Amino acid sequence: MFITHDANKHPLSNAYGDGNHVWIAAEIQLRVPFFMVEFDQHEAADEGGDFSFSRTVLLSGGDDVVKLVSTLAPQNLLKSVTLLSPSSRDIGGAWSLDQLTEIWEAKDPNDSRLKYKVFAKADGSHFVDSMMETTIDQLQEWQQLMVLPTVNCRQ
């Protein structure tokens, strides 16, 4: 879902170890919703003690969010999950950010084998992670998967 170009590779990219690269730009391939997951990662220092740093990961699907959040090590602290969604085509190239508060799973009304992730937003509305344009009122047998931490967005 993201495209990187060699011309956008940061000059210090090799300093981050084998298999890791640093980019000054990445292209979003499709105008579809994405998720930003922010957490504090704690690591043991070589000379004893420990340190922490903040990480923000951009993910392309609801299942990816659930997998990442549920596999965070106990010493790592989830700070927030944000939905990054494109505006409708007639508005133009704007994107919206919405803080998420809960993740649910619900069944498709026409095929109970199909399950969709439903994300509750801080404003009380919901986002259904579905390519089928399934609406919130059509879903059945809701099951809460997790409650997400929220931050005060007011300045």
Region 70-84 average pLDDT: 92
pLDDT digits 0-9 by tens, 54-68: 999 999 999 999 999
Mean pLDDT value across the chain:
88
In b/e form, how buried is each residue of 8-45, taking b as 16+ CB within 10 angstroms?
Answer: eeeeeeeeeeeeeeeeeeeeeeeeebbbbbbbeeeeee
Task: Answer with the residue of higher pLDDT: 20 or 84.
Answer: 84
Contact (CB, 8 A) for 63 and 103 = no
Q: What is the pLDDT at residue 99?
A: 97
Region 67-94 average pLDDT: 87
Contact (CB, 8 A) for 51 and 42 = yes
User: Structure tokens of 48?
Assistant: 């004893």
pTM of the model: 0.83
Q: What is the DSSP letter of 60?
A: S
Question: What does the longest C-alpha to C-alpha distance in the chain come to?
Answer: 58
Contact (CB, 8 A) for 136 and 117 = no
